C-alpha cells in the first residue's frame, strides 16, 4: 500500500463521513420539525370520515379538495401559524360547524383516502366528541337553556336532557347529557351555545374519553359476560342451587 | 466589445464572437423576452385557474375547472392530477393511496417526462417567480456567494425525504415544503407561509446564488431524475456556436451547459436543465433552440451507433 493510496482512502472515508454527518444532522433537524407539527394534531377537528390521526397524517396530501367541496365553507386548510399541522384540513366548530350534509360532499373528492370513502352515513362520522363544562353550562345552573339539545342534529340520541327533580332549597334542573355512541362531533351545539365562551365544546374523543378497562365488570349491565354467566347458570348444578335459594327467599311472596 | 485596433475574437468555428445585445426597440425586447413572458403567463395562469375555481367558482359546462392545488387536483371534475413526489412520499409512509391519486401521479409523470422533467420548475412552480427575482436582483447588485455548496446535495435531500417519510410516518417534504405552503396559502388563505418564502428569497439573494432551486429543492431533484427521459430539450447546433458564453451567464443551472457534451448529444441532455429558455433568448447565433429529442440526431450518429447494433444482432 503506497502512501498516495492511503491518503486518498483516508480522504475518501472523511468525505463519506462528512456526507453522512450532513445527512444525519439535516435529517434530525427535519424530523424534529415534523415531530413538532405532529404534536399539534390532537387539537384539530378533522372533516367527516378522517382516518385516525396517524393514518390521516400519513395519507393527507393537503390538496384542499375537501375544502372546495364543503358548501358551508366550514373546512379550512391549516396555515403555518394555525397551530395545526400545515396544510391539513380542519374546522373550528365555534366559527362554522359541520352541518352534516347527507351526501357528505367532502369525502368522495379526497384523492388519497385520508377521508374514508366507506363512510356513507354522516351519522356514523366521528369528528370529535362534545364535552360539557357543567360549571358554566346554563342548564346546570338551573336555567332552562337546553339550546344544544334542541340544535343537535341527532337530538335525543347524541344529546339528551336529564331531569334532576327539585329538592329542598334546590332548583329542579333539566341538564344536557352527551352520548358518545351517537355524537358525531359536528359542533353545532358549540356554535349554538349562548355562554360567552362555549360551555359545550367539541374535542377529539381521545383527549376526553376515559376507559373503564376489562378489570371492572359491571354485573348489572345486561350484556356483561358475568350477567350472562349467571343467566346461563340455572342449567348447571350450581345454578339450580342458586335458583333454589331464590325460590326459598321468595316463598310466601304473592 | 472589441476595439478597432485588435483583430476580432473568433470562436472554434472560425466565426467572430459576438456578444448578446439587447435590442433597442420594444418589439425586439419583447422577442427576447417572449419565453420569459410565456413562462410567467403559464405560472400565473395555473395559479389563477386554481384561485378562480376555489374562490370564484369558475366552471366550464357546469364542471369546476381546476379544484385542489398543485399537490393534487381535479381537472373539470374528471381528470385526477397529483404530484408524483408527494404521492411517493405518502406511499413510503406505508399508506396505499386510492387509485385516483395513483392515476393522477402517473398522468403528471408522463406529462413531465414528455415536456422535460424540470419544466415543472420553470413553467409552473410558484417559487420560481421568487427565486427568479432573487437571481435578477443578485445580478444587478453583484452579490457573491457566501459559501460553496454542491448542487448534488438536492439528491441527498430527495433521499432523505423518502427515508424520513418511512421513519416518521408522514410525507416528510410535504410537511415542510415552502412550495406547497406558498401555493396553498395563495389559494386557500394567507397565513405565515410567506415567511418560508421570504427565507428562500433572502437565501437566494444574499447567501447562495440559485440556492433553493439549484441546490436544495428535492422536488426539483425528483423532476431532474425524470428529466433524463425528457422529450422536449434545448437543442444545440454545435457548428454555429462561437463559445461566447452568454448562455452560461444567465443559466440558473450553468453546469448543464457543458458545450462538449452538448455538441456530442446535439442537445442539453442533463435532467437538471429546466427548459426555462433563458439561454435560447440570449444566444446571438441561434445555436440553442427547443427541439424534440426524438428528432435530434447526434452529429456523429452513424459512427457511434452502427458497430453497437451489429454486435447486438
Any chain A CB within 8 A of the CB of B199?
A: no
Tell me the pLDDT tens digit for each residue of A210-233: 998 888 877 777 665 555 555 544
Query: Which parts of chain B fold into alpha helices (H)?
Result: 26-55, 84-92, 99-115, 119-123, 127-141, 153-168, 178-188, 193-202, 211, 218-226, 246-250, 259-265, 278-282, 301-312
* pLDDT at site A6: 63
pLDDT, position B27: 87
Contact across the interface for B97 and A34, Cβ inside 8 Å: no
**Which residues of B fall within a CB distance of 8 Å from A80?**
181, 185, 191-193, 195-196
pLDDT score of B8: 64
Whether B97 has its CB under 8 Å from any CB of chain A: the answer is yes
pLDDT at A1: 47
CB contact under 8 A, B184 and A59: no
Provide the pLDDT for residue A202.
96
Question: A-chain residues within 8 Å CB-CB of B180?
Answer: 62, 87
Per-residue pLDDT band for A124 (boundaries 50, 70, 90) equals very high
CA distance A61 to chain B (A): 6
CB B96 within 8 A of CB B87: no
pLDDT band at residue A151 using 50, 70 and 90 as cut-offs: very high
DSSP A219-253: TTSTT-HHHHHHHHGGGSHHHHHHHHHHHHHHTT-
Domain-wise residue ranges, chain B: 28-225, 233-312
Residues 6+ apart with CB under 8 A from A201: A93, A94, A130, A131, A133, A190
Residue B75 forms contact with A (CB below 8 Å): no
- By Cβ distance, the residue of A19, A38, A111 closest to B72 is A111
Q: What is the pLDDT of residue B165?
A: 92
- From residue A91, how far is each of A58, A99, A103, B74 by CA, in Å? 19, 12, 19, 23
pLDDT of residue A73: 92
CB contact under 8 A, B100 and A34: no
B-chain residues near A22 (CB < 8 A): 153, 156
Q: Is the pLDDT of residue A148 over 60?
A: yes
Domain B233-312, what fold?
Alpha-Beta Plaits (3.30.70)
Containing H/E element for A54? helix A53-59
- Within 8 A of B55 by CB-CB distance, chain A residues are none
Question: How confident is the model over A62-117, as pLDDT tens digits?
Answer: 999 999 899 999 999 988 778 888 889 999 999 999 999 999 999 999 999 999 99
Residue A193 main-chain phi, psi, to 5 deg: -55, 125
- Residue B291: predicted pLDDT: 86
Looking up cell 340520541 gives A157
Q: What is the pLDDT of residue B242?
A: 87
- By the CB < 8 Å criterion, does B188 face chain A? yes
Domains of chain A with bracketed CATH = 27-125 (3.30.70), 128-209 (3.30.70.20)
Distance CA B251, CA B273 (A): 9
Residue in chain A nearest B56 by alpha carbon = A68
For the segment B5-14, what is each residue's pLDDT rounded down to a tens digit?
Answer: 455 677 777 7
- Does B215 touch chain A if contact means CB atoms closer than 8 Å? no
A 110-169: CB under 8 A from B: 110-113, 117
- Nearest chain A residue to B87 by CA: give it: A61
Q: Predicted confidence band at A133 (pLDDT cuts at 50, 70, 90)?
A: very high
Instruction: Write down the pLDDT at residue A130.
Output: 95
> What spatial distance separates the first Cα and last Cα of chain B, rounded to whole Å?
55
Low-confidence ranges of chain B (pLDDT < 70): 1-8, 298-313
Q: Is A203 helix (H, G, I), strand (E, B) or coil?
A: strand
Amino acid at each position: 500500500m503506497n502512501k498516495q493510496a492511503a491518503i486518498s482512502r483516508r480522504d475518501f472515508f472523511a468525505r463519506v463521513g462528512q456526507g453522512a454527518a450532513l445527512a444525519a444532522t439535516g435529517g434530525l433537524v427535519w424530523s424534529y420539525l415534523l415531530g413538532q407539527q405532529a404534536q399539534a394534531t390532537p387539537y384539530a377537528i378533522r372533516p367527516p370520515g378522517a382516518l385516525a390521526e396517524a393514518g390521516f397524517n400519513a395519507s393527507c396530501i393537503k390538496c384542499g379538495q375537501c375544502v372546495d367541496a364543503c358548501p358551508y365553507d366550514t373546512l379550512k386548510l391549516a396555515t403555518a401559524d394555525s397551530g395545526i399541522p400545515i396544510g391539513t384540513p380542519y374546522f373550528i366548530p365555534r366559527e362554522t360547524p359541520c352541518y352534516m350534509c347527507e351526501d357528505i360532499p367532502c369525502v368522495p373528492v379526497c384523492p388519497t383516502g385520508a377521508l374514508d370513502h366507506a363512510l356513507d352515513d354522516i351519522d356514523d362520522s366521528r369528528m370529535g366528541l362534545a364535552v360539557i363544562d357543567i360549571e358554566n353550562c346554563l342548564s346546570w345552573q338551573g336555567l332552562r337553556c337546553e339550546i344544544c339539545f334542541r340544535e343537535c342534529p341527532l337530538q335525543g340520541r347524541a344529546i339528551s336532557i336529564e331531569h334532576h327533580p327539585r329538592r329542598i332549597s334546590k332548583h329542579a334542573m333539566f341538564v344536557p347529557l352527551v352520548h358518545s355512541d351517537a355524537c358525531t362531533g359536528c359542533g353545532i351545539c358549540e356554535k349554538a351555545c349562548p355562554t360567552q365562551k362555549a360551555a359545550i365544546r367539541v374535542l377529539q374523543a381521545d383527549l376526553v374519553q376515559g376507559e373503564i378497562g376489562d378489570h371492572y365488570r359491571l354485573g348489572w349491565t345486561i350484556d356483561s359476560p358475568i350477567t350472562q354467566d349467571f343467566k346461563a347458570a340455572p342449567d348447571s348444578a350450581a345454578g339450580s342451587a342458586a335458583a333454589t335459594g331464590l325460590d326459598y327467599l321468595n316463598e310466601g311472596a304473592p | 466589445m472589441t476595439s478597432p485596433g485588435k483583430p476580432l475574437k473568433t470562436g472554434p468555428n472560425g466565426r467572430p464572437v459576438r456578444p448578446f445585445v439587447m435590442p433597442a426597440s420594444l418589439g425586439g425586447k419583447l422577442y427576447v423576452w417572449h419565453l420569459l413572458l410565456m413562462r410567467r403567463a403559464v405560472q400565473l395562469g395555473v395559479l389563477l385557474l386554481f384561485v378562480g375555481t376555489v374562490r370564484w367558482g369558475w366552471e366550464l359546462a357546469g364542471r369546476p375547472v381546476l379544484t385542489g392545488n398543485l399537490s393534487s387536483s381535479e381537472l373539470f371534475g374528471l381528470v385526477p392530477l397529483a404530484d408524483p413526489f408527494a404521492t411517493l412520499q405518502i406511499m413510503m409512509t406505508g399508506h396505499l393511496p386510492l387509485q385516483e391519486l395513483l392515476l393522477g401521479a402517473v398522468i403528471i409523470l408522463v406529462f413531465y417526462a414528455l415536456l422535460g422533467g424540470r419544466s415543472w420548475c420553470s413553467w409552473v412552480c410558484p417559487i420560481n417567480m421568487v427565486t427568479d427575482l432573487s437571481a435578477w436582483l443578485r445580478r444587478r447588485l453583484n452579490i457573491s456567494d457566501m459559501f460553496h455548496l454542491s448542487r448534488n446535495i438536492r439528491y441527498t435531500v430527495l433521499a432523505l425525504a423518502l427515508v424520513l417519510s418511512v421513519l416518521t410516518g408522514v410525507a416528510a417534504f410535504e410537511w415542510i415544503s415552502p412550495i406547497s405552503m406558498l401555493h396553498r396559502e395563495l389559494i386557500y388563505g394567507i397565513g405565515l407561509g410567506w415567511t418560508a418564502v421570504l427565507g428562500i428569497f433572502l437565501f437566494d439573494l444574499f447567501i447562495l446564488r440559485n440556492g433553493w432551486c439549484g441546490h436544495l429543492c428535492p422536488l426539483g431533484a425528483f423532476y431532474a431524475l425524470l428529466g433524463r427521459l425528457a422529450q422536449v430539450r434545448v437543442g444545440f447546433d454545435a457548428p454555429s456556436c462561437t463559445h461566447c458564453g452568454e448562455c452560461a451567464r444567465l443559466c440558473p443551472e450553468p453546469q448543464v451547459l457543458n458545450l462538449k457534451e452538448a455538441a456530442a448529444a446535439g442537445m442539453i441532455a442533463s435532467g437538471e436543465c429546466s427548459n426555462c429558455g433563458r439561454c435560447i433568448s440570449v444566444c446571438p447565433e441561434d445555436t440553442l433552440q427547443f427541439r424534440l429529442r426524438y428528432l435530434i440526431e447526434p452529429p456523429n450518429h452513424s459512427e457511434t451507433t452502427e458497430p453497437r447494433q451489429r454486435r447486438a444482432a
